[in-house]
Structure 1
């Protein structure tokens, strides 16, 4: 920004030059002010720079409607930043409009200082790593990167064909004979710390707890489950890519299931081009229940239950059904039916603890809505398990697994509600496995084993009873050979087993 500031320090007398300088100075300085504001905003809320994969992926995977809905959710920050920029603009306009500055003492020294500063600017602009950070250059390239990613997401036909061919060449086989049904329920933004199934103070999972009591040893609640990603796209990609989706040797779980003889359904309540093109379209049957994109979609997860029941009722020997929920994806208040928030303005122990920590009223309100979303979520997840259990009455080999893509920070550590890359709340997830009585007995202590979602595909492959040459049993949490390796998260974790 120095070149214009140096120019502002020199007197301009002609009215035409004054207008030109005033306009250029305003545009120039505001470029840097806006750039700094955006970077500070992203760093404060998401601990990410603008070119971070999470930010680029989110922008490539959004539309104008979702963007306006995001702004409506964070309008306070927008107003604050906009007010600050307006003050800066007024100040620059006033300063740049001065026609004659007071005479500068030591004019020669001032000229030498200006020359030195100009040389510093020249050095900075000649350096490519520095030059690319200039707002005019950086944001132009940033838009191009987002557009390029969006174009690649829109057409994944060749990649899907490659994944299917790769799975076929692996020659997967089924270890057991006879019919088999496996249901994978993948949710969104669920933090296990807010589930009463995991000891939370509010009753947010009464139905799952009831099913746990009635299921006994058939239902395993993994107490120490973690995601390795704090946002949806990389989390889902890692899950279905066996933890190494970029590797040429890695398989896609859906492609592997199809190659081994399963008919695959993908039932989704998301309207997401990235998830649909990279994963859902690999399935034989795709049911995208939600037709309204954006955070303000009011499509409830319960609307997928009829599609799940229809898939379960289809007469086919081997079925793999993926149910992809919105879960507690912000806005929380839209993830449960209107009027069904029993925690609304309730002064209970959870709210008192948040208040004692100094948590803001807005975040405490978000926690109430989040917990209400989880209570409705419990109803839907429990029903997917009940429907799966009914299927087990007709055939022997039936399994069900539930987990979330990542967690959510709702006043646990920071005074913030939403995705969180820098706190454990962004990675702490629930994971539950149910298997019919005919399944092989699990090793002892499975429920207490630490579990990571990017290894979940190995466990699901075991539930599907698939075997292939490069299978890594040490990453299957149900295996006797399981060997835990702690993931590298962007912040320290005291313990993965507490």
Structure 2
């Protein structure tokens, strides 16, 4: 590459591309650092190769002031696309050990609206500020560098021309390769947005999938074997870690009412000590529960479809405003009650709003009833999950607070723990009321059963200095599970309270409570059966013992 020399009157220092080369080197170093932030292995080289055209264009001399300004703006935008990509990937890896296109992140994004996103930002702003710092530094560095784009017309050193040609060849090869090209931030995040939108569209109308679930249930021909009226209430809650329940030995009085029920009912109230979810977020956890832990590709049965086919009238009442859950599960019920119309984390509707709905369902004249009560539980924000001003643990210095301090937990995590425990205290009221209403349902002698469990756990300073969903710690999978029956099941397996329990197998246990049977139903996954055989699930986190 050779360009005409400057007029003799031009300063000698302006004839050499030293400043553009230095700026290009600084910009390249920053690009590489950002790529390393979000990628590893050979992808670092692939992403850097995709960014080389930005550096090459920066060194290409231009004469026009207008073109120079346009180039400056476009180079800054292009470089910031790489900066956003690196920071976003780095944050997801640090917080969730997940890639942006993983099922966890795609499902979360598809299931999130603007208001919920704002609430997420308000809860995790500290971590986001930390991760925004490299983005702001990159913006400043790129802004300084791109203004130094080459404008001189002096001959370039041969080594610079060779380096530029090699960079252009490598960049051309990178863009010609489809697997490499997919990684380019502009291409990747455009495809990512399309994937999220496609997932939302797939959720918006799943009538065909529901019809197929009902057809599979009819083909299985399930039969309700218990004669007479039958009422089963299934209470599914959100984000409850059993380690924070006094029912499980926690040091704060978070479950006084459930403890009172346990004292009154004794062994008839089965508190499963070692219950585990196999998913750390709601959507996959509920899919696993209602599909008996069978992968979607194997055309699994759906618990609600089986119950309806066996003659049960099914209710789904929820304090969530969640289109994914509603379409995949709730709409299989005969009666659907969605009391919360504020989407996401910002929903301030308290779970107690469902108690009247439950009473109405229990008063219904249907002989066989399955009522699913889907609670918000302690779904973040914790402060919205209990009535205002009703936090007895606020600024309380007790053994729990002292332990958190000794473990090095930050003040904001300790505050979240106080709010979380206050949410569990209110949650105890709602859950115990659902049990009490179930016990009072029907006529004397009618069969009634009640089961309570959480979709997944929650990390609130248990093993790390953070609060929220946690796929990378055991706290994200530790859940409560409680069962009550009247009359009690005389054939219940001995030691059921201490035997480990998997939430993805809970469908088999609920089918037992419903007393429905169909060909091929394995008894070894029903936690109430003497034939139950525990198999440890494969979790993305090491668990020392599932019996702890």
The reply on whether 1:431 has 2:490 as its aligned counterpart is: no
Q: What is the CA–CA distance in structure 1 between the aligned matches of 2:70 and 2:160, rounded to whole Å? A: 24
Contact 2:268 2:488 in 1 (8 A): no
The reply on whether 1:141 has 2:173 as its aligned counterpart is: no
Q: What is the CA–CA distance in structure 1 between the aligned matches of 2:154 and 2:445, rounded to whole Å? A: 92
Please give the per-residue CA displacement for 1:269-292, whole angstroms capped at 9, x wherever unaligned: 010000101100100111111121
Offset, 1:293: 1.1
Contact 1:237 1:245 in 2 (8 A): no
Contact 1:204 1:374 in 2 (8 A): yes
Structure ID, larger Rg: 2
The aligned counterpart of 1:399 is 449
Q: What is the CA–CA distance in structure 1 between the aligned matches of 2:131 and 2:474, rounded to whole Å? A: 28
Contact 1:242 1:455 in 2 (8 A): yes
Partner of 1:350, secondary structure, is: helix
Please give the per-residue CA displacement for 1:407-443, whole angstroms capped at 9, x wherever unaligned: 0000111111000010000000000000113533412
Partner of 1:448, secondary structure, is: coil
Do the aligned partners of residues 492 and 80 (structure 1) sit closer, same or farther apart at CA in structure 2, a change above 3 Å counting?
closer
The aligned counterpart of 1:69 is 119
Partner of 2:317, secondary structure, is: strand
The aligned counterpart of 1:16 is 66
Partner of 1:295, secondary structure, is: helix
The aligned counterpart of 1:165 is 215
Using the TM superposition, name which of 236-245 and 96-105 deviates more: 96-105
Partner of 1:133, secondary structure, is: coil
Offset, 1:70: 1.9
Contact 1:179 1:395 in 2 (8 A): no
Do the aligned partners of residues 105 and 358 (structure 1) sit closer, same or farther apart at CA in structure 2, a change above 3 Å counting?
farther
The reply on whether 1:112 has 2:187 as its aligned counterpart is: no
Q: What is the CA–CA distance in structure 1 between the aligned matches of 2:247 and 2:157, rounded to whole Å? A: 75
The counterpart of 1:286, out of the listed 330, 336, 343, is 336
Partner of 1:442, secondary structure, is: coil
The aligned counterpart of 1:302 is 352
Q: What is the CA–CA distance in structure 2 between the aligned matches of 1:487 and 1:392, rounded to whole Å? A: 38
Partner of 1:429, secondary structure, is: strand
Partner of 2:479, secondary structure, is: coil
Using the TM superposition, name which of 487-496 and 458-467 deviates more: 487-496
The aligned counterpart of 2:176 is 126
The aligned counterpart of 1:94 is 144
The aligned counterpart of 1:473 is 523
Offset, 1:319: 0.5
Contact 1:104 1:110 in 2 (8 A): no
Structure with more relative contact order (C-alpha pairs < 8 Å, separation 6 or more) = 1
The reply on whether 1:378 has 2:439 as its aligned counterpart is: no
Partner of 1:387, secondary structure, is: helix
Offset, 1:353: 1.0
Contact 1:397 1:438 in 2 (8 A): no
Aligned length in residues: 498
The aligned counterpart of 1:200 is 250
| Unmatched tracts of structure 1, length 5 or more | none
Contact 1:180 1:395 in 2 (8 A): no
Offset, 1:392: 6.1
Please give the per-residue CA displacement for 1:174-193, whole angstroms capped at 9, x wherever unaligned: 22211111000000000011
Do the aligned partners of residues 289 and 395 (structure 1) sit closer, same or farther apart at CA in structure 2, a change above 3 Å counting?
farther
The aligned counterpart of 1:183 is 233
Offset, 1:16: 2.8
Q: What is the CA–CA distance in structure 2 between the aligned matches of 1:474 and 1:213, rounded to whole Å? A: 30
Do the aligned partners of residues 343 and 21 (structure 1) sit closer, same or farther apart at CA in structure 2, a change above 3 Å counting?
same
Contact 1:13 1:100 in 2 (8 A): no
Using the TM superposition, name which of 455-464 and 435-444 deviates more: 435-444
Partner of 2:136, secondary structure, is: helix
Q: What is the CA–CA distance in structure 1 between the aligned matches of 2:488 and 2:273, rounded to whole Å? A: 24
Using the TM superposition, name which of 96-105 and 123-132 deviates more: 96-105
Q: What is the CA–CA distance in structure 2 between the aligned matches of 1:418 and 1:333, rounded to whole Å? A: 13
The counterpart of 1:155, out of the listed 197, 205, 219, is 205
Q: What is the CA–CA distance in structure 2 between the aligned matches of 1:225 and 1:392, rounded to whole Å? A: 30
Using the TM superposition, name which of 345-354 and 273-282 deviates more: 345-354
Q: What is the CA–CA distance in structure 2 between the aligned matches of 1:374 and 1:438, rounded to whole Å? A: 28
The reply on whether 1:416 has 2:416 as its aligned counterpart is: no
Q: What is the CA–CA distance in structure 1 between the aligned matches of 2:429 and 2:322, rounded to whole Å? A: 24
Partner of 2:321, secondary structure, is: coil
Contact 2:320 2:338 in 1 (8 A): yes
Offset, 1:168: 1.0
Contact 2:115 2:346 in 1 (8 A): no
State the TM-score, normalizing by the size of structure 2.
0.88
The aligned counterpart of 2:293 is 243
Offset, 1:12: 4.2
The counterpart of 1:277, out of the listed 315, 327, 330, is 327
The reply on whether 1:442 has 2:489 as its aligned counterpart is: no
The counterpart of 2:378, out of the listed 302, 306, 328, is 328
Q: What is the CA–CA distance in structure 2 between the aligned matches of 1:360 and 1:12, rounded to whole Å? A: 53
Contact 1:220 1:434 in 2 (8 A): yes
Please give the per-residue CA displacement for 1:313-348, whole angstroms capped at 9, x wherever unaligned: 112211000000000000000000111111101111
Contact 1:245 1:251 in 2 (8 A): no
The counterpart of 2:514, out of the listed 442, 464, 486, is 464
State the TM-score, normalizing by the size of structure 1.
0.96
Offset, 1:393: 5.2
Q: What is the CA–CA distance in structure 2 between the aligned matches of 1:420 and 1:310, rounded to whole Å? A: 36
